[in-house]
């Protein structure tokens, strides 16, 4: 193990998983190989050379296990089988081999806060109160009265308790009614999970992404919660998860599984404070390795009160500072639960879509932390913005709509937010070419292809040296060649500037200067660090006007100087 010099980020031990550039694939929407309208593993196999060409080094694929698809694979009915719509175990083996042959690592999504209600464990568990699987889930006998309210993300009424006649009891589901929470207090459940992890680790997967893991430890007496428990996402996490046993469970998982292979684990969600996140991933804790916090994802998620660049800079700078000497973060601007990157954080108008996509990828690939890029964002794919509820496929949108209606919410505000932030925005098919279904399928796609695929697509961008796609490749190459972008310290410049995000990254005797104009206004700024950084390494426009220590940044211009 190599330790960094003192001059560099003390404490940041070099690890292969810190150096990864992760490409996230939503398998249902990437490439359909058999014309049934659903993306599949063979489709991904067909595109391995494309993935390699991006310069990414790891692939995370959303769940591919057997599932009735109430929540598109996040409701698993068999953790050792591949969903037939996606292919077979032989396809999986071929995919893993194909990735490894290209030097690309594979991250498996592991969804073990809950299973599907169609999992054999749950079928057994619900069948009788004395079934040996009864304690695999959280049951509340009805003779004790109605259990205290718990929040459910995807329930039509927001109620996490579902009454089940068969045994006159309620079961707990923090997510959809078909996603019952597993009972981690039961050592047999934990052993089952470790066995599943061994199964996949022995197949050769290189990492696990632990879905909703902060919720596995909860107060199983289910006391009444104080009023403030619903005041924002952080409160929900605090009162529904991050319970007293989270760390013992994670240490057990580390001892039993993670420490036995050269693998890493990333936690989805990281509690509600910096300290919570550190406690999950700091080196000496031997629990998880990478924290995937939600504060960035939640910033300004309200059409009537969007975020400002100042808030964005403060947030990312504060997280970086907190993790400057121990613990490790991921950096992401989109995923399958968020809107499209350029629609959310950039400017997806025809005029600025390409340049602002390149700016956002500049940020993503020059920050400290392991970058996670979401498929299609290398092209600048945009939100589809379905206008009517009938067009939505996502259980979150559909049940959220029903709940808002039942609550008498202002449906105009609800729809305006749904149109902008719905998860379906990022789940439309990959845009490979300008043909009718964007080269995604020869059949009817499971969700509409975005009409703008005639303009935004891989084929068109391959041949344009200035396309977002080719710019993305320049950035991944730069990050792979310069460890300063991985491990180097980060210093925010111009902290008060409302439109410009500027920072340096430095490690030993190497340093880089990153300058990004997050607005449609041209700015001329004075930056003393320009004197020491004269070489333009990457630029998202054709020109770069620097005179001494003054630079002019045109709308959405982003440059990396060395």
Q: Which residues bind Ca ion (CB under 5 A)?
A: 32, 34, 36, 38, 40
List residues with catalytic annotation.
211, 268
Q: Which is nearer to ligand NOJ, 337 or 462 (CB)?
A: 337
- Which is closer to ligand NOJ, CB of 40 or CB of 211? 211
> Least Å distance between CB 336 and ligand NOJ?
6
C-beta of 74 vs 122, nearer to ligand NOJ: 74
378 contacts which partner out of Ca ion, ligand NOJ, none, CB within 5 to 8 A by kind? none
What does the alpha-carbon distance between residue 557 and residue 562 come to, in Å, rounded to a whole number? Answer: 17
| Residue 212 or 419 with smaller CB distance to ligand NOJ | 212
Residue among 71 and 287 whose Cβ is closer to ligand NOJ: 71
Which residues have CB under 8 Å from 323's CB, separation 6+?
A: 277, 278, 291, 329, 368, 369
What three-state secondary structure class fits 241?
Answer: coil
In the complex, the smallest distance separating the C-beta of residue 373 from ligand NOJ, rounded to whole angstroms, is 16
Residue 175 interacts with, from ligand NOJ, Ca ion, none (CB under 5-8 Å by kind): ligand NOJ
512 torsion bin: left (phi>0), alpha (psi -120 to 50), beta (else):
beta
Partner that binds at residue 474, options Ca ion, ligand NOJ, none, CB closer than 5 to 8 Å by kind: none
Site for ligand NOJ in 158-177 (CB under 6 A): 175
Nearer to ligand NOJ, 335 or 467 (CB): 335
User: Would you count residue 156 as binding ligand NOJ (CB under 6 A)?
Assistant: no
Q: Closest distance between ligand NOJ and the C-beta of residue 128, in Å?
A: 27
Q: Of 96, 172, 212, 277, which lies in the binding site for ligand NOJ, with binding defined by CB under 6 A? A: 212
CB of 46 to Ca ion, least distance (A): 11
- Among 36, 78, 295, 337, contact with ligand NOJ (rule: CB under 6 A): 337
H helix runs in 131-245, sequence order? 187-203, 233-240
Closer residue to Ca ion, CB minimum distance, 34 or 235 = 34
Using CB distances below 5 to 8 A depending on partner kind, what does residue 320 bind out of Ca ion, ligand NOJ, none? none
- Count Cβ atoms below 10 Å from residue 283 Cβ, excluding itself: 14
Strands (E) located in 67-190: 78-82, 105-110, 139-141, 161-164, 169-172
CA dist., res. 523 & res. 145, Å (int)? 64
Least distance CB 172 / ligand NOJ (angstroms): 14
Cα–Cα distance list, 207 to 64, 108, 110, 184, 553 (Å)? 15, 6, 10, 21, 40
User: Hey, which residues between 1 and 60 contact ligand NOJ (CB under 6 A)?
Assistant: none
| Residue whose Cβ sits closest to ligand NOJ | 74
Please choose which of Ca ion, ligand NOJ, none residue 211 contacts, taking the beta carbon within 5 to 8 angstroms, the exact cut-off set by kind. Answer: ligand NOJ
Asked if residues 393 and 42 have their Cβ atoms less than 8 Å apart, the reply is: no
Q: Which residues pair with 546 in a beta bridge?
A: 551
Q: How many residues at the interface with ligand NOJ, by CB under 6 A? A: 9
Among candidates 501, 465, 489, 179, which has minimal Cα distance to 309? Answer: 501
Residue 71, contacted partner among Ca ion, ligand NOJ, none, CB below 5-8 A by kind? ligand NOJ
Give the residue with the Cβ less far from Ca ion, 86 or 133.
86
Quick one: what does residue 36 bind among Ca ion, ligand NOJ, none, with the CB cut-off 5 to 8 Å set by partner type? Ca ion
Task: Note whether 336 binds ligand NOJ by CB under 6 A.
Answer: yes
| Distance of alpha carbon 75 from alpha carbon 377, whole angstroms | 26
Interface of this chain with ligand NOJ, residues 496 to 535, rule: CB under 6 A: none
Q: Name which of ligand NOJ, Ca ion, none residue 32 binds, using a CB cut-off of 5 to 8 Å depending on partner kind.
A: Ca ion
Closest of 74, 22, 106 to residue 337, by C-alpha? 74
Q: Which residues contact 44 (CB under 8 A, 6 or more apart)?
A: 25, 27, 30, 31, 51, 61, 95
Q: Which of ligand NOJ, Ca ion, none interacts with 336 (beta carbon under 5 to 8 A by kind)?
A: ligand NOJ
Q: What residues have CB less than 8 Å from 94, skipping those under 6 apart?
A: 41, 45
CA angle 117, 120, 121 (to 5 degrees): 80
Contact 401, 49 (CB under 8 A): no
Give min distance, CB of 265 to ligand NOJ, in A: 15
Which of 158, 152, 82, 162 has its CA nearest to residue 122?
A: 162
Cα separation of 218 and 245, whole Å?
8
Q: CB neighbours (10 Å) of residue 231? A: 10
Site for ligand NOJ in 57-116 (CB under 6 A): 71, 74, 111
Instruction: Pick from 32, 91, 211, 287 the residue near ligand NOJ by CB under 6 A.
Output: 211
Minimum CB separation of residue 212 from ligand NOJ in Å reads: 4
Orientation of helix 468-481 relative to helix 353-366, angle to 10°: 10
> Min. distance of Cβ 176 from ligand NOJ in angstroms?
8
Contact 497, 487 (CB under 8 A): no
Of 86 and 175, nearer to Ca ion (C-beta) is: 86
Question: Interface residues with ligand NOJ (CB under 6 A)?
Answer: 71, 74, 111, 175, 211-212, 268, 336-337
């Amino acid at each position: 193990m190599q330790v960094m010099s003192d001059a560099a980020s003390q404490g940041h031990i070099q690890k292969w998983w810190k150096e990864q550039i992760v490409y996230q694939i939503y398998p249902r929407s990437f490439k359909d190989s058999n014309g049934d309208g659903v993306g599949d593993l063979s489709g991904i196999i067909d595109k391995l050379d494309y993935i390699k060409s991006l310069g990414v080094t790891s692939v995370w694929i959303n769940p591919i296990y057997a599932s009735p698809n109430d929540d598109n694979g996040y409701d698993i009915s068999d953790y050792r089988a591949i969903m037939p719509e996606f292919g077979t175990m032989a396809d999986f083996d071929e995919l893993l081999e194909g990735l490894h042959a290209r030097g690309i690592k594979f991250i498996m999504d592991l969804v073990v806060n809950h299973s599907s209600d169609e999992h054999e464990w749950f079928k057994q568990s619900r069948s009788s109160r004395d079934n040996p699987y009864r304690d695999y889930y959280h049951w509340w006998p009805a003779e004790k009265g109605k259990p205290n309210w718990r929040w459910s993300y995807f329930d039509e009424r927001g109620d996490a308790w579902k009454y089940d006649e068969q045994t006159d009891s309620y079961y707990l589901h923090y997510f959809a009614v078909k996603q019952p929470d597993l009972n981690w207090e039961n050592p047999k459940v934990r052993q089952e999970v470790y066995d599943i992890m061994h199964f996949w680790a022995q197949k050769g997967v290189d990492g696990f992404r632990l879905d909703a893991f902060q919720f596995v430890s909860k107060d199983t007496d289910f006391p009444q919660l104080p009023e403030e428990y619903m005041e924002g996402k952080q409160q929900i996490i605090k009162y529904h998860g991050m319970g007293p046993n989270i760390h013992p469970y994670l240490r057990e998982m580390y001892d039993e599984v993670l420490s036995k292979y050269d693998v890493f684990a990333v936690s989805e969600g990281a509690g509600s404070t910096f300290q919570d996140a550190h406690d999950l991933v700091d080196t000496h804790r031997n629990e998880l390795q990478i924290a995937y916090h939600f504060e960035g994802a939640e910033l300004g998620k309200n059409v009537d009160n969007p975020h400002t660049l100042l808030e964005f800079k403060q947030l990312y700078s504060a997280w970086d500072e907190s993790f400057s000497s121990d613990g490790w973060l991921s950096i992401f601007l989109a995923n399958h639960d968020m809107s499209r990157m350029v629609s959310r954080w950039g400017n997806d108008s025809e005029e600025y879509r390409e340049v602002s996509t390149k700016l956002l990828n500049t940020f993503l690939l020059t920050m400290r932390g392991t970058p996670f890029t979401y498929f299609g964002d290398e092209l600048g794919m945009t939100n589809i913005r379905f206008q009517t509820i009938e067009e939505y496929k996502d259980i979150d949108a559909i049940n959220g709509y029903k709940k808002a209606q039942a609550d008498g919410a202002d449906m105009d505000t609800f729809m305006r937010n749904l149109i902008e932030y719905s998860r379906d925005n990022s789940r439309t098919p990959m845009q490979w070419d300008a043909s009718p279904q964007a080269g995604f399928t020869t059949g009817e796609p499971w969700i509409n292809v975005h009409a703008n695929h005639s303009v935004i697509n891989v084929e068109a961008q391959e041949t344009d040296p200035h396309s977002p796609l080719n710019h993305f490749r320049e950035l991944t190459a730069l990050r792979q060649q310069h460890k300063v972008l991985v491990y180097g310290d980060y210093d925010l410049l111009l902290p008060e500037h409302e439109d410009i995000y500027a920072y340096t990254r430095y490690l030993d005797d190497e340093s880089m200067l990153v300058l990004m104009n997050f607005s449609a206004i041209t700015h001329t700024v004075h930056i003393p660090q320009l004197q020491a950084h004269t070489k333009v390494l990457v630029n998202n426009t054709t020109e770069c006007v620097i005179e001494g220590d003054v630079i002019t940044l045109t709308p959405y211009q982003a440059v990396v100087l060395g």
